[in-house]
């Protein structure tokens, strides 16, 4: 019996990669096959994010900036869909802009997946507009706050759908930072440039949905009051979906995260058992 | 400082070597001027100055756009060289150029709303991007198994913090014990924020120092110096 245990522990210490990969896949798929509802306490930051939008007056203008890419769909996709749905439900005027080349395509996908599609956002050019992509990163944020369509006018006087700005009534009311009531940033590249160019000079409130890796940076600005609220990665997206009532990809993925986290903790324990067992055996020799 | 260096230069120095020096100094002068103007406009609300700075910012955004074609030309040049010299696995370079052409031609000529381009993005780029991101989960899992060993008190504390944060993020954590989210948030709100703030303060001070070096003409890395 003791010999079998020793063999098992030795095997665990040497053969692990393929077995761990297989376990990870099984633990990830399991909640999709057998869905289970786990309690999800809404964090203070997600609640502030939700409330900041809910407290806006009907007809207020929200600038939504996409600073994420296709690799972040798992973490921010659910949040983006729920955000569009909440903005549409509140009858707010939405100006979309992208800081990455794939931003307009991501937006198309998000709109396609939200309840009611494009029609839910209202009339294009009156209730919402997609300015498209402009390069320049932080300089672009500065430029857009000075004149939201200035950069696009410089490029070719047209929005992402090829419409001339003078034919879009929404843009007549969006001239500079004074006409923007809220900036929502979906980011996979930090929030400090928005804090520098949006909050510090103009005091326009910022909301931020970020990937997990960037969350420590975002959190510091939330605690200092420079960012009003935040959605943290997949967990935050699932909380936000639950708050808005638009349950989507994040809600279905969060159970998988739970199972995989349990697996990782199990691996942590097994890894340490094999390590200490090996060490004890060496010492007895 | 940069102006002074330029004015003090002797006429004899302005030979062939002098021309490159002029180029170098003029870059430094422009850089210093732009920095001073931008900083002053931030603190002095003077409309004409703000307008000048706004034009500079818009110009810089437009210049940034040129990075895209430069990148495209570079990648095409590099791959064409590999193909013509028949370097190892050159057929992969051919495949790369083919993929670039397949995605770029519809987008460049018909815009991002072109159906072929959108199909490529939604059915190739997006799943591939998500797949690449998700592979990190596999590496993290094996790394946790191999690397998170309690060798001393420091590693023990690190492992405990890691476990609590994981149980805070996963809903199953609060199912096991309602204290995990509270402990996790304490770690996030206090210990983590303190560390990140210290980093940002350091970055801020460093950034100010770099700006001062640019204005004084001491920073030469942009003009080919060390």
SS3 of chain B: CHHHHHHHCCHHHCCHHHHHHHHHHHHHHHHHHHHHHHHHHHHCCCHHHHHHHHHHHHHHHHHHHCHHHHHHHHHHHHHHHHHHCCCCCHHHHHHHHHHHHHHHHHHHHHCCCCHHHHHHHHHHHHHHHHHHHHHHHHHHHHHHHHHCCCCCHHHHHHHHHHHHHHHHHCHHHHHHCCHHHHHHHHHHHHHHHHHHHHHHHHHHHHHHHHHHHHHHCCCCHHHCCC
Q: Does A104 touch chain B (CB under 8 A)?
A: yes
Contact check, Cβ <8 Å, B175/A38: yes
- Contact predicate A187/A68, CB 8 Å: yes
Contact check, Cβ <8 Å, A160/B133: no
Candidates B140, B170, B202, partner chain A, best to mutate (most A CBs within 10 A): B170
Q: Does A21 touch chain B (CB under 8 A)?
A: yes
Buried-exposed string A232-271: b where 16+ CB fall within 10 A, e elsewhere = bbbbbbbbbbbbbebebbbbebbbbbbbbbbbbbebbebb
pLDDT at A234: 92
Tokens of B1: 């400082």
Query: Given A38, A140, A276, which is nearest B61 (Cβ)?
Result: A140
Tokens of A200: 């510090």
Q: Is A208 helix (H, G, I), strand (E, B) or coil?
A: strand
Contact check, Cβ <8 Å, A71/B130: yes
Tokens of A66: 């996409």
Task: With beta carbons under 8 A apart, name residues in chain A contacting B174.
Answer: 39, 41
Q: Does A30 touch chain B (CB under 8 A)?
A: no
CA A184 to chain B, closest CA, distance in angstroms equals 21
CA B22 to chain A, closest CA, distance in angstroms equals 28
Contact check, Cβ <8 Å, A136/B64: yes
Q: Does A271 touch chain B (CB under 8 A)?
A: yes
Residue B76: exposure state from Cβ atoms within 10 A (0-12, 13-18, ≥19): middle
- Contact predicate B148/A268, CB 8 Å: yes
Query: Given A16, A105, A272, which is nearest B121 (Cβ)?
Result: A105
Tokens of B190: 């206090």
ipTM of the complex: 0.79
Query: Given A73, A160, A254, which is nearest B126 (Cβ)?
Result: A73
> Tokens 């993020």 correspond to what residue?
B169
Could you report the per-residue pLDDT of B146-196, keeping only the tens digit for each?
888 888 999 999 889 989 998 988 888 888 898 998 999 899 888 888 888
Q: Calculate ∠ Cα A137-A214-A85, nearest 5°.
A: 80
As a whole number of angstroms, the distance between CA B212 and CA B23 comes to 21
Q: Calculate ∠ Cα A283-A284-A285, nearest 5°.
A: 90
pLDDT at A94: 95
CA A62 to chain B, closest CA, distance in angstroms equals 22
pLDDT in tens, chain A (285 residues): 556 666 766 666 666 788 888 888 888 888 878 877 788 889 999 999 999 999 999 999 999 999 998 889 889 999 999 999 999 999 999 999 999 888 888 999 999 999 888 889 999 999 999 988 887 888 888 888 887 767 666 656 678 888 888 888 998 888 888 999 999 999 999 999 999 899 998 999 999 999 988 999 999 999 999 999 999 999 999 999 999 999 989 998 888 888 888 888 988 888 888 888 888 887 777
Cβ neighbours, 10 Å, residue B119:
11
Could you report the per-residue pLDDT of B196-225, keeping only the tens digit for each?
889 989 999 999 999 899 888 888 777 666
CA B211 to chain A, closest CA, distance in angstroms equals 16
* Phi, psi for A224 (deg, rounded to 5): -85, -5
Q: Kindly tell me the sign of the dihedral angle through the C-alpha atoms of A265, A267, A273, A276.
A: negative
Candidates A98, A111, A136, partner chain B, best to mutate (most B CBs within 10 A): A136
Strand partners, B68: none
Strand intervals (E) in A119-275 = 128-133, 182-187, 206-210, 229-232
Task: With beta carbons under 8 A apart, name residues in chain A contacting B196.
Answer: 216-217, 219-220
pTM: 0.82
Task: With beta carbons under 8 A apart, name residues in chain B contacting A233.
Answer: 169
CA B113 to chain A, closest CA, distance in angstroms equals 8
Q: Does A127 touch chain B (CB under 8 A)?
A: no
Contact check, Cβ <8 Å, B141/A24: yes
CA A140 to chain B, closest CA, distance in angstroms equals 6
DSSP state string for A115-149: TTHHHHT-SBTTTEEEEEE---THHHHHHHHH-TT
């Amino acid at each position: 019996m003791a010999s079998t245990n020793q063999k098992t522990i030795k095997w665990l210490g040497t053969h692990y990669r393929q077995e761990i990969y297989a376990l990870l896949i099984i633990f990830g798929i399991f909640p999709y096959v057998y869905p289970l509802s786990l309690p999800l306490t809404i964090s203070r930051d997600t609640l502030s994010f939700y409330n900041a939008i809910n407290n806006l007056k009907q007809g207020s203008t929200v600038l939504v900036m996409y600073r994420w890419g296709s690799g972040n769909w798992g973490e921010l996709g659910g949040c983006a869909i729920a955000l569009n749905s909440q903005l549409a439900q509140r009858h707010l005027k939405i100006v979309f802009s992208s800081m990455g080349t794939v931003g307009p395509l991501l937006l198309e996908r998000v709109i396609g997946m939200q309840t009611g599609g494009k029609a839910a956002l209202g009339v294009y050019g009156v209730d919402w507009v997609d300015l498209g992509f402009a390069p320049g990163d932080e300089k672009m944020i500065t430029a857009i706050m000075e004149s939201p369509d200035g950069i696009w006018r410089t490029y070719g006087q047209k929005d992402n759908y090829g419409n001339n700005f003078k034919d879009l009534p929404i843009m007549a009311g969006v001239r500079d930072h004074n006409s923007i009531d809220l900036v929502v940033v979906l980011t996979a590249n930090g929030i400090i440039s928005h804090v520098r160019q949006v909050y510090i000079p103009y005091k326009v409130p910022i909301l931020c949905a970020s990937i997990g890796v960037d969350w420590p940076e975002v959190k510091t600005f939330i605690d200092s009051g420079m960012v009003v609220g935040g959605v943290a990665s997949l967990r935050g997206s699932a909380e936000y979906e639950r708050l808005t009532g638009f349950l989507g990809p994040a809600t279905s993925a969060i159970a998988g995260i739970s199972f995989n986290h349990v697996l990782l903790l199990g691996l942590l324990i097994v890894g340490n058992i094999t390590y200490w067992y090996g060490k004890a055996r060496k010492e007895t020799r | 400082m940069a102006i002074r260096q330029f004015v003090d230069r002797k006429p004899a120095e302005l030979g062939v070597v002098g021309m490159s020096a002029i180029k170098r100094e003029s870059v430094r002068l422009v850089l210093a001027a732009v920095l001073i103007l931008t900083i002053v406009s931030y603190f002095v609300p003077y409309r004409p100055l703000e307008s000048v700075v706004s034009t500079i910012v818009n110009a810089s955004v437009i210049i940034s756009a040129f990075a895209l074609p430069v990148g495209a030309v570079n990648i095409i040049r590099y791959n064409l060289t590999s193909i013509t010299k028949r370097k190892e696995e050159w057929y992969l370079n051919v495949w790369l150029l083919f993929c670039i052409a397949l995605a770029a031609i519809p987008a460049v000529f018909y815009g991002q709303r072109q159906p072929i381009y959108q199909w490529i993005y939604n059915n190739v780029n997006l799943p591939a991007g998500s797949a690449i991101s998700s592979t990190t989960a596999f590496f993290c899992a094996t790394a946790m198994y191999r690397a998170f060993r309690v060798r001393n008190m420091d590693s023990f504390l690190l492992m405990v913090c890691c476990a609590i944060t994981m149980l805070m993020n996963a809903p199953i954590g609060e199912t096991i014990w309602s204290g995990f989210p509270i402990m996790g948030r304490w770690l996030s709100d206090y210990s983590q924020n303190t560390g990140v703030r210290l980093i940002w303060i350091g970055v801020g001070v460093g950034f100010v120092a770099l700006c001062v070096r640019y204005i004084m003409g001491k920073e030469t890395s942009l003009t080919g110096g060390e």
